[in-house]
């Protein structure tokens, strides 16, 4: 999903329905920990009627202090690698799973733009992490094209696809 294909609202809802079906089938709840998407993943999931049966919690943590307080991200990780890093997203997803009691979690952190990018981490750089209770956290680096909304839409879509895979895996 590293292309510039921007998912529509209808496509995002379809991806959310896939997450819902997999969560219900496995009888687990899901949690989200979001930075660059600002709660869009949780919104898309909870737009579905009946989501209270399988949606546990969603956290939006933009600042370092919020990542530390709400998700248990180690301040040294943030100082050493920054908010947009594999290490940070792995701690975010692990924290969400541990703190909110869900069976599976997703976390996202990135640079949606239009500012904030650097040569090492340009606008469109996004880390997404997933973890299932009893499993290991894993993450993937994406480089999305487009404006702020395009980067965020693509992030939501990739997060939902990965969450379905995590639930089915």
126-151 tens-digit pLDDT = 999 999 999 999 999 999 999 999 99
Question: Does residue 117 have a pLDDT over 50?
Answer: yes
Question: Does residue 58 have a pLDDT over 80?
Answer: yes
Predicted confidence at residue 2, as pLDDT, reads 44
Predicted confidence at residue 169, as pLDDT, reads 86
Question: Does residue 4 have a pLDDT over 90?
Answer: no
Closest CA to 33 of 114, 88, 79: 88
Dihedral (Cα; 105, 18, 8, 106), 10-degree rounding: 10
């Amino acid at each position: 999903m590293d292309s510039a294909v921007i998912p529509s609202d209808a496509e995002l809802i379809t991806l959310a329905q896939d997450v819902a079906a997999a969560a219900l089938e496995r009888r687990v709840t899901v949690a989200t920990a979001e930075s660059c998407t600002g709660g869009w993943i949780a919104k898309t999931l909870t737009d579905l009627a009946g989501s209270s049966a399988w949606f546990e919690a969603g956290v939006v943590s933009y600042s370092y202090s919020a990542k530390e307080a709400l998700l248990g991200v180690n301040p040294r990780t943030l100082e050493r690698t920054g908010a947009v890093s594999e290490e940070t997203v792995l701690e975010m997803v692990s924290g969400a799973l541990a703190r909110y009691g869900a069976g599976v979690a997703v976390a996202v952190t990135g640079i949606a733009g239009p500012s904030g990018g650097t040569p090492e981490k340009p606008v469109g750089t996004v880390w997404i992490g997933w973890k299932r209770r009893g499993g290991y956290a894993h993450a993937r680096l994406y480089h999305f094209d487009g404006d702020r909304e395009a980067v965020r839409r693509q992030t939501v879509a990739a997060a939902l696809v990965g969450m379905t895979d995590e639930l089915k895996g």
